[in-house]
Amino acid sequence: MISQAQDQPSTTSAVSATPSVQLFRGPSDYKTWSIGVNGGVLAPVVPTGGSNDFTKWKGSFGYGGYVKYQILHFLALRADYVGGKLQADNSKNLGNGAPLVSPYKSYETKLPWSASLNAVFNITTVNWLFRKNFVSLYASVGGGLAGYKPTLELNNGTKVDYTKDNKAIKELIIPVGAGLKFKLSDIINLDLGYTMNYVDGDNLDGYEHGPNKDKYSYGYAGLEFALGKKGKQQLQWHNPASTMYDELVAQKATLAAALDAANQNNARLTADVDKLTKDSDGDGVSDFFDKCPGTPANTKVDGSGCPLPVPVVEKKEEKIVITEEDNRIVKEAIQNLEFDFAKASIKAHSYPALDRVAELLKRKNLNLKLSGHTDNVGNKTRNLALSRERAEAVKTYLVEKGVNASKIEAVGYGMSQPIASNKTAAGRQKNRRVEFTIF
């Protein structure tokens, strides 16, 4: 079909001469249904998505299966089932070497089932050497439900069932995965994959500790069996690139001719535009309209290319004097500033003192630097972000009260600049602060 389109002479436009190739005639000629079984490792951890409530996760055996319908060679719908159990404990210390403060020693969650519906995308299935596919890289995303039963172990060894009457908790999950598939035959494929499951709840481990919701992953290996009439190929291994290659070859001559014609038109247009845009003295006015040619470089000119008069600006030096009363107002604001626990929300009783700081900044046109600090409790990255968010919250409040935003600098230092020992509650309280510096 392609060779006939190339041999026929073009008698109309370049568009009508472009050959048409039918890349895909529909799924009826292919095997579209398949089933799969797999086994692997379940773990209460994923590479992304925040921190965990227990310090050391453990891998456990998991098992699963799925039914898949291939809509197009690059897109399929897959119904998945996964079961097994999840385990973790607090035997590992935190990053600063201290043990995690928690009422629980470990947990084990039975996962009798999880079911989800996923869209599966074949990212690449091209083998340019033989123009037949036998390796596929895919990604998947979907939604579903998981049923699980957590059991917690207290530090004294007592085990506690999180659920009552041994009933399973049902929560929404969002599975996101990727994997490699190898074609072993026209019927059997080897499937290697990894799926991250994000749970819409913080009770997968039986410990609702926040702020992050729980998650778990499943790395697996399995076999996929294609269903359908003997002799038909699997749709997921269809390679439209091999057919597309023939179409691209047929279109090459047409596109080259169109490009050559466009280049000729562009050359003529460029010559015409150069006559109107040439600017010999570089003042921004073309020679065609420039009434004052030869203007010195960096000279501001009017629309006719002639120099503008240079205004004389008298600079006034403003001396800023900061009084003891000013320092008292700022010190009072620092002493009264409080936030909601682990948040950047300013408590209402802090507003009057901040209002006085805002009035001072506007009245004397002062500059202000806000430096946010935290103690060393919690995740270092989160503490750095929280200190910056709290400083930004104070800045936002002052700007809303009419202070010029350019006069305020908000910086977060996290736990890096303590002013007292973090080993005591009093010391940690002093380290959780926002410093004000006026100048």
What is the predicted pLDDT for the residue at 405? 93
Residue 5 is predicted with a pLDDT of: 38
199-202 long-range contacts (CB < 8 A, ≥24 apart) are 199/146, 199/171, 199/172, 199/173, 200/171, 200/172, 200/173, 200/174, 201/169, 201/171, 201/172, 202/53
Task: Give the model's pLDDT for residue 292.
Answer: 85
Mean pLDDT value across residues 358-372: 93
Q: In the prediction, which pLDDT does 15 show?
A: 43
At 403, is the pLDDT very low, low, confident or very high (cuts 50, 70, 90)? very high
Instruction: Quote the pLDDT of residue 208.
Output: 87
The pLDDT of residue 11 is 42
Among residues 332, 335, 329, 400, the alpha carbon closest in space to that of 366 is found at 329
pLDDT at 394 over 70: yes
Query: What is the average pLDDT across 380-386?
Result: 91
pLDDT attached to residue 125: 67
pLDDT digit string, tens, across residues 269-281:
887 777 677 877 7
The whole-angstrom separation of Cα 394 and Cα 356 is: 13
- Per-residue pLDDT band at 316 (split at 50, 70, 90): low
Residues 42-61 have a mean pLDDT of 89
Mean pLDDT of 59-80: 96
Provide φ and ψ at 146, rounded to 5°. -125, 135
Please tell me the distance from the alpha carbon of residue 417 to that of residue 420, in angstroms, as a whole number.
Answer: 9
pLDDT recorded at residue 349: 93
Token couple for 98: 């201290």
The band of 122, judged by pLDDT with boundaries at 50, 70 and 90, is: very high
pLDDT for the residue numbered 126: 56
pLDDT above 70 coverage of the chain, percent: 88
Q: Is 106 helix (H, G, I), strand (E, B) or coil?
A: strand
Mean residue pLDDT of the chain comes to: 86
The model's pLDDT over 178-208, given as tens digits with 9 standing for 90+, comes to: 999 999 999 999 999 999 999 999 999 999 8
CA nearest neighbour of 397 among 438, 433, 357, 343: 357
Residue 1, pLDDT score: 38
- Peptide bond between residue 211 and the one before it cis (omega within 30 degrees of 0): yes
**Which of 237-246, 336-345, 347-356 is the most confident on average?**
347-356
Nearest to 283 by CA among 257, 304, 252: 304
Average pLDDT over residues 401-413: 94
pLDDT of residue 17 exceeding 70, the answer is no
Structure tokens at 28: 């009826």
Mean pLDDT lowest for which of 30-34, 52-56, 135-139, 314-318?
314-318
Question: Bigger pLDDT: 51 or 390?
Answer: 390
Of 166 and 123, the one with more pLDDT = 123
Report pLDDT for 340.
83
How much is the pTM?
A: 0.51
Q: What is the pLDDT of residues 149-167, one digit of tens each?
A: 999 999 998 999 998 777 8
Residue 366 is predicted with a pLDDT of 93
